[in-house]
Chain A
Amino acid sequence: MGARGARSQASAPAGTRPLRVALLVAGKDLRQRLRDRSALVIAFVAPFLLASIIGLALRSDFAFRATYAVADADRGPAAAAFTDGVLGGPGLRDLVTVRPVDPDQARALVDRGEADAAFLLPAGLSASVQQGRPATVTVLESGENPIAGQVARSLAETYAAELAATRLAVATALDASGRAPTQAEARRLGERAAAGRLPVQLVEGRVGDRAIEPANYFGPSMAIFFLFFTVSFGARSILSERRQGTLRRLLATAAPPGAVLAGKALASFVLGTSSVLVMWLATTLVFGADWGDPLAVVALTVSSVVSAIGITALVVTLARTDEQADGYSSLVVFTLALLGGNFVYLAQLPGVLQRASLLTPNGWALRGFVDLVADGGGLGTVAVPVAVTTAVGLVTGGLAVLRARRMVAA
């Protein structure tokens, strides 16, 4: 009976063995990619350029500078602890210019934009602190530099909180002797408060023990973002080959459909992995970036490439035309990038979005890269991100293969 599947494979001539076919198709696809200038730009140039631009932009943000007017009507130890210890302390000394003024001048300076914020320290502040009575420090913020204003408010709030906590601790200790804190104890209290950490971790993107430099974050981040575009050509080329008739011709040569698909995936894998590794090398050489333990970086790279291939392949197989595939791919890639933290530090995202980032392979991969830098770990540090991204790639890739086989058969 002859009514059978067109592609059942009882035996294959030597030239159509699956591995050989896959290698031939991969070689041909790579040759085509390397001739396509836009593909090279997406794979190797654009990630580096964008990471550089974002990195440089953030570096300018890091050079935080602010001018704060301080109207000190107290002239006591608590006020001195704030102006000398906090604003003039080692953390902010180089970043903040303090202009001592009277209250009216403070308001005028902020209004004219000559000061980014003003602190109004009321008369009797130190006495109130010593006696445990409430006191109010007023912060005037300029609308022209909201970040400096937020920092000013945070400094004041942190100072107040530290004062309260420390005063409570001292008061508790002194309760046993039944006496009030002395002037010297109040000064030490202020100094301790001033030694409190500044609330700038989020702005610096500091996670873990080591700071995440822009190149260390946006290098992998942009590499992963563009990786999705880089590897999507593999799946899209099935549509192209179907349109131009070469897919039909390929199948007429007795090439097993699975081997053709494997060849396309292999080409995507080689190009995607090369793209990330070149980005790693470039950011290391040019910006002195440190992505972390090399073995762990390679593992994360491979798993990220697998997930990118799987997702883009699944998305493309849902399309009927090249144009549809481009549209679907762009939508999915940008959504994943926005949710996954490719454009902003994961730590700067609101809590909900930080949790949502874990729904994306980008988010997991970035978490892995950030952990590598912040914690300085190895393969063990990235085990979960590698497992999750690989699983995402295998599941979506499996579904894509099922759909692609139907496309090929059609």
Chain B
Amino acid sequence: METEPVLRCSDLRKRFKERLAVDGVGFEVGPGETYGLLGPNGAGKTTTISMICGLLRRDGGEVTVAGASLDRDPGRVKAAIGYVPQDVALYPDLSGLENLRFWGRMYGLAGRDLVERVEGTLEVVGLTERAGDKVADYSGGMQRRLNIAAGLLHRPRLLVLDEPTAGVDPQSRNAILGNVEALGGQGVAVLYTTHYMEEAERLCDRVGIIDQGRLIAEGTRRELVATVGERDRIELAATGDLAGLAGVAAGMDGVDEASVVAGGVHLVAKDGRRLLPRLLEAAEHAGAEVTSVELVEPDLEAVFLHLTGKALRD
């Protein structure tokens, strides 16, 4: 079984005038692996994949795809990549079938091979019935699925998806995520950018967290969550003696931190679910009335918050 990374990039750098958009980003994606680039809007995700796909001039760094260097053999690199842009990039006045045939030909497909690939891909994304309709007449979700299909036709070694579910209804989103999950099983390396933590958690074998152009953490979900100590956050909205509540909570077993915030108390604790009943009892004794409780178990959002001090969608 092949173990060589399909994508290997290192020290990618890009500056737009005064702004350093990407600063030393590097990672690898293996065959059948789905790698997520997770970060807020403007973090540098699209700039990074644009450089990987050869669409944007790099200020520095190396990119190798399927053993070919982007500098020395850009044609081979591009032929090995299936690029799915963030917005639907199709011809609305052509049918779905005509679009796929065109994009297939642009990737060098022809004849029977082209026909079979187009038919197969339409089936995968569930658009066979509507293949003859103009893309302009498709729903937003159908356009997104066809958008992905156009990147899959030539069976790329590396599929690059740039926020493919942005602005998509839940049903279509599920269909798209299902398609991407299936690809991993077929040995395709997938580079997936998103600012939706749930998508990264569901799809990605490994996640790189990117912020302000820098890759600030990388690993499996378990590895990343471990960086925040696998502790839960408990957010109590309360009135009354908040300082007293924080003091009592801080002395309880399993509670690592307790702090008063506007309108309540925030705690960091191990196994928050088991702690909650005791915590509510302690609040009553401390003279505080708890009006709502929110338990935040560690996830990639928490990791991002821990690493950057801000939420993913700030």
Chain A interface (Cβ within 8 Å of chain B)? 1-16, 21, 24, 28, 31-32, 35-36, 244-246, 248-255, 409
Contact = CB atoms under 8 A, between A and B. Distances in A.
Contacts of B51: 6
Interface stretch (B76-84, B166-174, B195-203, B213-221): B76-84
B276 interface: no
Contact of A246 (B60, B79, B91): B91
Contacts of B109: 15
Given A24-B102, A248-B89, A254 B57 contact: no
Interface in B253-291: none
Contact of A24 (B53, B92, B105): B105
A248 B61 contact: no
Interface in B85-127: 85-94, 98, 102-103, 105-110
A24 B106 CA distance: 7
Contacts of A250: 106
Nearest to B105: A24
Contacts of B73: 10-11
Interface string B54-80: 111111111100000111111110110
A31 B94 contact: yes
A358 B73 CA distance: 49
B76 A246 contact: no
Most buried by A among B70, B98, B105, B109: B105
Given A8-B74, A16-B75, A3 B58 contact: yes
Interface residues of B, number: 45
Contacts of A14: 108
Given A15-B107, A252-B78, A32 B93 contact: yes
Nearest to A12: B75
Nearest to B59: A3
Label chain B's interface by main secondary structure: loop
B76 A11 contact: yes
A45 B51 CA distance: 46
Interface of B: 13, 51, 53-63, 69-76, 78-79, 81, 83, 85-94, 98, 102-103, 105-110, 150
A28 B100 CA distance: 12
Given A11-B73, A11-B75, A245-B88, A4 B58 contact: yes
Contact of B94 (A12, A32, A245, A249): A32
21 contacts: A1-B71, A2-B58, A2-B69, A3-B13, A3-B59, A4-B58, A9-B75, A15-B105, A16-B79, A21-B106, A24-B106, A28-B94, A31-B98, A245-B85, A245-B86, A246-B90, A246-B91, A249-B89, A250-B106, A252-B85, A253-B107
Contacts of B105: 15, 24
Contact of A6 (B56, B83, B85): B56
Given A31-B94, A36-B93, A254 B74 contact: yes
Most buried by B among A7, A32, A248, A255: A248
Contacts of B56: 6
B81 A13 contact: no
A6 B55 contact: yes
A10 B75 contact: yes
Contact of A245 (B57, B89, B93, B98): B89
A14 B111 CA distance: 14
Nearest to A35: B93
